[in-house]
Amino acid sequence: MGLIYYGYPKCGTCRKAKKWLEMNNLDFQEVNIAEAPPSEEELGKMIAASGLELKKFFNVSGLKYRELNLKDKLPTMTDEEKISLLSSDGMLIKRPLVYGDGKVTVGFKEDEFDKVWGN
């Protein structure tokens, strides 16, 4: 299975991550996270593979996150409700999200990309 890169074209961090993937000659499928967010099933697999807390997948600095007042709502929501919410709007997901070969990165830190996706 190849890599899937979920990014947003106007996001500077996403552009840096995409450039890193290209410079390291990694084949990936690019998906605009705003137009085609991952499904609940895909998100479930990514969250499980990442070993991260579910809350790490939320774009807490995003406008949509603040508009929906999620800081106060998330603590009372079930994991299923959170995953459903994430899959309903890609702008709620921290990006870029890169997934493949049972590995996941959320956001972009060059040293983490080196460790996870480096050859």
User: For position 43, which CATH number holds?
Assistant: 3.40.30.10
Domain, as residue range, for 25? 3-117
Task: Please give the sequence-ordered ranges of beta strands (E in DSSP) within 27-91, or none if there are none.
Answer: 28-32
Structure token pair of residue 62: 């995003």
Q: What are phi and psi of 112, to 5 degrees?
A: -70, -40
User: Which pLDDT tens digit goes with each residue over 11-51?
Assistant: 999 999 999 999 999 999 999 999 999 999 999 999 999 99
Q: How many domains does the chain have?
A: 1
pTM: 0.93
118, 23 in Cβ contact below 8 A? Answer: no
* 118 secondary structure, DSSP code: -
Pairwise CA distance, residues 23 & 65, whole Å: 32
